[in-house]
Chain A
Amino acid sequence: MKSFSNLYIFIFSSIMVIIVAAVLSVIAIQLKPHQDMNIKLEAMQNILTSVRVESNKKNAEELFKKYITDGYVVNPEGEKLQGVIAFDVDLKKEVAKIDKIKKYESQIQERRESPFKNYISGFINFKTVDKKTINSMIDKANFQRQLPVFVCEKEREIYYVIPLWGKGLWGPIWGYIALESDLNTVYGAVFDHKSETPGLGAEIKEAWFQEDFKGKKIFKDGQFQSIEVAKGGTDDLNKYAVDAISGGTITSKGLEDMLYDCLVSYRTFFETQRN
């Protein structure tokens, strides 16, 4: 076997790394527009599916322009935000904001339950976390939130499509839910996932599961209720629950949480829009 000097090994590996990096960056930049287009087309197709419009990759853009007449972003107070495009909102970041708010809320809860522990931790952190600051932090986080809404007009009916984002078992799950003009009845829903177990959690993207959501309601006697993904099944008469996937409990639960967390922020918007 030939022997190589250390210098040769260093030079060899440096050149190799530079070549590899260059090749990969060029390819990544070249393919990026295609990949982004795929993601955007998929989102369009999903939105169209939620309002029961069949589409394929080729006509998605055209149909989207035809049916989705408006798209805007609101804040939790239901006010429209200017200068933000509904399509550009990064839902992942939005959901991170929800998690942040939840964390603050649990801090308040903890304060109430164990004032002593709070005193100690406040002492160690040199931070006085009193209820007022936490509340103002919640308000601040809430204020920054962006809630996209897509408005669809089909056969003289108005539908509102709300994008969803949450956690499954192995990775993110997301979807779109279309509400009828009463902003209560579900017109259609579509879900997708990154890496749920095929045949189990992955079934959320199958039609039989999504079909169940049609006609369900999210408000009960004027109160926000969301839709439960019920383990052990439910019947058609129950307007607030759908059948969970057997063997896909954690994904089902994640989907239920996703529906609640994403929709609850729109509560005020729904109410003002309805009047």
Chain B
Amino acid sequence: MGDREPLFSTKNIKLLKEPLGTNNPITVQVLGICSALAITVKLKPSIVMAISVVAVTAFSNVIISLLRNYIPPRIRIIVQLTVIATMVILVDQILKAFAYDVSKQLSVFVGLIITNCIIMGRLEAFALGNRPWPSFLDGVGNGAGYGIILIIVAFFRELLGSGTIYGYPVLEKIGLYKTGYVNNGLMILPPMALITVGIIIWVQRSKNQDLIETH
């Protein structure tokens, strides 16, 4: 979670927009890295993961926000965890029933959304102190901020590692393999996801100098 100040903004739009750019959970707050490394091998699971995380953050934010005056502070972490776990099991069950193929690809990582620090971070930092609607927007914004990075990383990893985009063999179609090009096997492995995230952070901070820490 870090010692970052909680997001307080009168404009609801700002709640949605900030996590996408200047306050991105992955590249700026550096949260939720673990799952970003695991499921970004291919685009399709990343997109489904992004949607699932948006749903979980948004709805658990709303539920916690609705209950915020009734939750005893001493057991608030357990309550948050219960709410998140319930939402995640719901998402998992729904995927298994209606998007079986993708749910198989994501396998354990849907369940592991529970451990995604972004969600709990938002509940602690935002939903516990705000009304349901802003909490909902905050959840959607943060989920989407996480999702966008997943999709960017997955795009490069799939393209360079497997030579496809969303399962479509792009590199084969443009005939790159005939010139002796070979897919980079390292892109498939988790370390390259970390390096890709690192590059995104680098690009973002060199474009937006305000994000660079001064110390």
1/0 per position for B79-116, CB-CB distance to A under 8 A? 10010001001100110111010001101100000000
Asked whether, in the complex, the Cβ of A31 is within 8 Å of the Cβ of B86, the reply is no
- Give chain B residues whose Cβ lies under 8 Å from the Cβ of A38: 96-97, 100
Q: How far is the CA of A159 from the CA of B133 in the complex (A)?
A: 60
Q: How far is the CA of A62 from the CA of B104 in the complex (A)?
A: 24
Most A CB contacts (10 A, CB to CB) among B79, B97, B162 go to B97
- Give chain B residues whose Cβ lies under 8 Å from the Cβ of A9: 72, 74-75
- Give chain A residues whose Cβ lies under 8 Å from the Cβ of B98: 34
Closest chain A residue to B183, Cβ basis: A199
Asked whether, in the complex, the Cβ of A247 is within 8 Å of the Cβ of B185, the reply is yes
Q: How far is the CA of A247 from the CA of B162 in the complex (A)?
A: 14
Shortest distance in angstroms between A260's beta carbon and chain B's nearest beta carbon? 26
Asked whether, in the complex, the Cβ of B82 is within 8 Å of the Cβ of A31, the reply is no
Contact of A12 with B75 at beta-carbon distance under 8 Å, contacts A38-B97, A198-B41 already known: yes
Asked whether, in the complex, the Cβ of A31 is within 8 Å of the Cβ of B100, the reply is no
Which among B72, B86, B188 is the interface contact of A23 at CB below 8 angstroms? B86
1/0 per position for B42-81, CB-CB distance to A under 8 A? 1000000000000000000000000001111111001100
> Does B147 lie at the interface of the complex (its beta carbon under 8 Å from any beta carbon of A)?
no
Interface residue stretch chosen among A13-21, A86-94, A264-272: A13-21
- Give chain B residues whose Cβ lies under 8 Å from the Cβ of A194: 104, 107
Q: How far is the CA of A35 from the CA of B89 in the complex (A)?
A: 14
Asked whether, in the complex, the Cβ of B78 is within 8 Å of the Cβ of A200, the reply is no
Which among B69, B79, B93 is the interface contact of A28 at CB below 8 angstroms? B93
- Give chain B residues whose Cβ lies under 8 Å from the Cβ of A8: 72
Interface residues on B, range: 20 to 34
> Does B19 lie at the interface of the complex (its beta carbon under 8 Å from any beta carbon of A)?
no
Shortest distance in angstroms between B78's beta carbon and chain A's nearest beta carbon? 7
Which among A13, A27, A31, A34 is the interface contact of B78 at CB below 8 angstroms? A13
> Does A61 lie at the interface of the complex (its beta carbon under 8 Å from any beta carbon of B)?
no
> Does A42 lie at the interface of the complex (its beta carbon under 8 Å from any beta carbon of B)?
yes
- Give chain B residues whose Cβ lies under 8 Å from the Cβ of A34: 97-98
> Does A4 lie at the interface of the complex (its beta carbon under 8 Å from any beta carbon of B)?
yes
Shortest distance in angstroms between A21's beta carbon and chain B's nearest beta carbon? 9
> Does B161 lie at the interface of the complex (its beta carbon under 8 Å from any beta carbon of A)?
yes
Q: How far is the CA of A200 from the CA of B186 in the complex (A)?
A: 11
Q: How far is the CA of A17 from the CA of B82 in the complex (A)?
A: 8
Asked whether, in the complex, the Cβ of B96 is within 8 Å of the Cβ of A35, the reply is yes
Shortest distance in angstroms between A47's beta carbon and chain B's nearest beta carbon? 17
Asked whether, in the complex, the Cβ of B74 is within 8 Å of the Cβ of A24, the reply is no
Q: How far is the CA of A275 from the CA of B73 in the complex (A)?
A: 76
Asked whether, in the complex, the Cβ of B70 is within 8 Å of the Cβ of A12, the reply is yes
Contact of A199 with B86 at beta-carbon distance under 8 Å, contacts A12-B72, A34-B97 already known: no
Q: How far is the CA of A197 from the CA of B74 in the complex (A)?
A: 41
A:13-58 near B, CB below 8 Å: 13, 16-17, 20, 23-24, 27-28, 31, 34-35, 38-39, 42
Residues of A within 8 A of B (CB): 1-2, 4, 8-9, 12-13, 16-17, 20, 23-24, 27-28, 31, 34-35, 38-39, 42, 171, 194-195, 197-200, 247
A-B CB proximity, top 5 nearest: A199-B188, A34-B97, A4-B72, A38-B100, A31-B97
Residues of B within 8 A of A (CB): 41-42, 69-75, 78-79, 82, 86, 89-90, 93-94, 96-98, 100, 104-105, 107-108, 161-162, 185, 188
